[in-house]
Amino acid sequence: MKLANHICGQWLEGRGEGLPLHDPVSGEQLVTVSSDGLDLAAALEFSRREGGAALRAMTYAARAAMLGGVAEVLQAKRADYFDISLRNSGATEADAGFDVDGAIFTLKSYARAGKVLGAARCLREGGRVALAKTDVFQGQHFLVPLSGVAIFINAFNFPAWGLWEKAAPALLAGVPVFVKPATPTAWLAQRMVADVVEAGVLPTGAISIVCGSARELLDHVGECDVVSFTGSADTAARIRNHPAVVARSVRVNIEADSVNSAILGPDAVPGSAEFDLAVKEVVRELTVKAGQKCTAIRRVLVPAPVARDLAAAVAARLAGMPVGNPRTAGVRVGPLVSKAQQAAALEGLARLREDAEVVYGADPGFMPVDADPQQAAFVQPTLLFCDKGLAARQVHDVEVFGPVATVLPYGDVAEAVAFARRGGGSLVASVYSADPAFVGALVPAIADLHGRIMVVDASVGANHTGHGNVMPTCLHGGPGRAGGGEELGGLRALAMYHRRHVVQGSAAVLDLLSREAADAALLGA
């Protein structure tokens, strides 16, 4: 079966045989995708003209209700999505839940939050600015929805969440979405879009999907479009520097890779709640989605006296987690999504081993449960130990996009800060400590290089939302090598799909233009 593309309000197959999508356990070919022959310029123009106009004719509250409708459609088909996740991504039940339920949760969150903007159609920011000696001439800042299209170029690891975490704020803002999912796992995104289109909960042109190559899509971007990319740093650089993006000053948001840290404080010693919470979280990050999360823990920074204890505790837990065919009862860790990803992860692991010794995993004789290692794309969960600190040449730079993490012992808080910062900009760091001196020194010292910092101690316990779990109400994105992007953060995300401008004029003009405006302060409320 060749998956159809949805553009110009129609379902169209691309030309040719298309690119195959596989089952990463059996190697079986599932479906094909092709974007060949599609008129991408016309497709983008249709989205802007039809989808944009229809969405902007609605109020924020109406669009929020529309998102609730999308969530209901997806909720009703949840079992189908778990099945596709299993077949195309090798997802365990928990892995599929992370992606599919995460998508539905995010949509519901925006459906709820968007209500507060009510019957408005734009946003008024701040008070009037005095520009003359009297109030005869003043300024007022506004934010209006962009009249372009939001183009999403997504990574393979979150075909569901990656689509809807971007689409929810864009649609709520009144901007149509145009998604290009990553080819290896495009099936789930395509099926979700098909279900939503069939249900008729979005206006025509509000959502489009092109599967397969992006081809010359970016040649056709316009001044009022947004390009939101999630994927590798190499592709990000190509997108950022694309001539049309540069020439038209197109707004670009980049979510790229990251060598995130988990950091134990000096009080997180064996027997403490903080130590146990850290061990649990490192294991979870190594195994959920087989480590294929941009937010996963890649480096574990541990006070030197207990670093070996931490490594041993993580290794003991990993030993109890069967890796293999997710269709088999008891299996906790699935494969990577493709043989290509397996090869890339093993190549990255070899580079890390130039700096580090193996504590657990990396077994050349590793055999997954109920799967043929020749056909399947498994990587054994692997924990490394590196005592080279800042002299290490690979561990601070190489993101193995799989179940691999490295423990690094550190001496004092200054060294922990230096290691975390050496990541060059990360999506997230998690801190396990109840020591106010440590937390108070560490967090501000790493904050400008991290998008999110999660601090966990015994008082938080199991109530924390997870190192790798992105909450729709909190910021997602990170500086430097993480791409410099900002997503989510509740209604803050709407800012990317609006243009700020100031109108200078009489009070009467400003009153007129403010009639349909909600207070932009609500975005940060």
Which residues of this chain interact with ligand NAP, rule CB under 6 A? 153-158, 180, 182-183, 213-214, 230-232, 235, 238-239, 255-258, 294, 399, 401, 427, 483
How many CB atoms within 10 Å of residue 508? 8
**Cα-Cα-Cα-Cα dihedral of 456, 459, 464, 468, to 10°?**
10
Query: Maximum Cα–Cα distance for the chain, whole Å?
Result: 82
Could you tell me the smallest distance in angstroms from the CB atom of residue 368 to ligand NAP? 22
Question: Which two three-digit tokens encode residue 426?
Answer: 């990360």
List strand residue ranges (DSSP E) for 94-174, in order: 122-130, 138-145, 150-153
The residue number whose beta carbon is nearest to ligand NAP equals 231
SS3 for 515? Answer: coil
Q: Closest approach of Cβ 481 to ligand NAP, in Å?
A: 10
**DSSP character at residue 4:** P
Q: Nearest CA to 209 among 162, 276, 250?
A: 162
Ramachandran angles phi, psi of 185, nearest 5°: -125, 30
Query: Cβ of residue 73: shortest distance to ligand NAP, in angstroms?
Result: 24
Residue whose tokens read 């401008």: 501
- Strand order across the 297-303 sheet: 357-360, 382-385, 404-410, 297-303, 260-264, 426-432, 450-456
Name the residue nearer to ligand NAP (CB basis): 161 or 410. Answer: 161
Q: Shortest CA distance to 182 belongs to which of 197, 161, 201, 198?
A: 161
CB of 433 to ligand NAP, least distance (A): 26
State which residue, 157 or 325, has the beta carbon closest to ligand NAP.
157
Instruction: In whole angstroms, give the CA distance from residue 331 to residue 311.
Output: 23
Specify the residue, 257 or 267, whose C-beta has the smaller distance to ligand NAP. 257
SS (H, E, C) 297-334: EEEEEEEHHHHHHHHHHHHHHHCCCCEECCCCCCCCEC
Alpha helices in 19-101 (DSSP H): 40-46, 53-56, 60-76, 78-84, 93-96
Burial (CB count within 10 angstroms: exposed 0-12, middle 13-18, buried 19+), residue 480: middle
Residue 507 sits at φ, ψ, to 5 deg, of: -60, -35
Residue 288 or 294 with smaller CB distance to ligand NAP: 294
Work out how close the CB of 190 gets to ligand NAP at its nearest, in angstroms, rounded to a whole number: 13
Active site residue 294: yes
Least CB distance to ligand NAP at residue 150 (A)? 15
Cβ at position 232, least distance to ligand NAP in Å: 3
What would the two tokens of residue 87 be?
Answer: 């077949």
Cβ-based nearer residue to ligand NAP, 175 or 227:
227
- As given in the structure block, the two tokens for residue 202 are 């979005």
Beta bridge partner(s), residue 519:
124
Which residue in the list 8, 122, 211, 294 is annotated as catalytic? 294
Instruction: Decide whether 217 or 417 has the Cβ nearer to ligand NAP.
Output: 217
Q: Smaller CB distance to ligand NAP: residue 89 or 147?
A: 89
CB of 524 to ligand NAP, least distance (A): 21
Pick the closer one to ligand NAP by CB: 228 or 433.
Answer: 228
340 dihedral zone (left: phi>0; alpha: psi -120 to 50; beta): alpha
Q: Which of 125, 255, 399, 486 is catalytic?
A: 255
| Neighbour-count burial of 471, counting CB atoms closer than 10 A to its CB (0-12 exposed, 13-18 middle, 19+ buried) | middle
Inter-axis angle of helices 186-199 and 161-173, nearest 10: 40
**Which residues are annotated as catalytic?**
255, 294
